[in-house]
Structure 1
């Protein structure tokens, strides 16, 4: 048996005890966090913009003064010990010679002397002797590895003997590698 439900109970809406939740974008703590983050970013950018230009000017002026005076004190730990081609104190011709030297040395596996001759040649780079010497002194390459790559190329494409390869590597009309670089190449030819 079921008990009859009174009409008053049927017409009453259910009782809600909890408040409806606010949408996430209307919560006060979210806006507070956003404002704090924006203020922190703005303060950080303001500090960086005010100090980066003088620091850059100071490092550029210290690099120029150390380049102008060879008896200057030891370089600071923040500056690299090797000259960089992108510094303003390096002339554009030197930078171009260095880029071309990198291509010749690391793609064509040239020797130091062959690289210098190519850079100064009227049929090659046509760079000044000073720019070519700067490029040869500052190019990042392994001269022994270059000699070995040339030696393997001669062995594979021309079937030359090790002594003929040594002669070609050291010849003034050939590759112009040093005797020690040629010896390294011949010693590691079959590795």
Structure 2
């Protein structure tokens, strides 16, 4: 039985490996032949023209304007970094309870389409979240939400529920 077992060829003697090796070699040889680029073929026979005083002044003015623009951009970047640092510092100084109230307010606004007053009541209610009024007020003042869209969605839900009641589905 051992005589009938087929001996496998090593992978480097198989046809698919040889084909891949030939393709790689052709690719390497092809890339070596392209040493000259278009930028190397610049003609040097063009006459050299010296800049006039006006052209030099215009070039210097342009360089000066670019330097001023870069300086202004750097100042704006620094101011933006300071503003971001102030925002982070302000966020770090906010009590954890206030942050938690804000997250709950966002959740109520997004999922239940509640109004600001409804969210405040839910946050401060002893049967709701039971946050202190300061935390609830912070949440209401700092929540970013489209209240008009929220009111439309809540109205649509109420109308749909009214139709269910009217036709005896609920």
TM range (shorter): 0.3 to 0.5
Instruction: State TM-score, norm by structure 2.
Output: 0.45
Instruction: State TM-score, norm by structure 1.
Output: 0.40
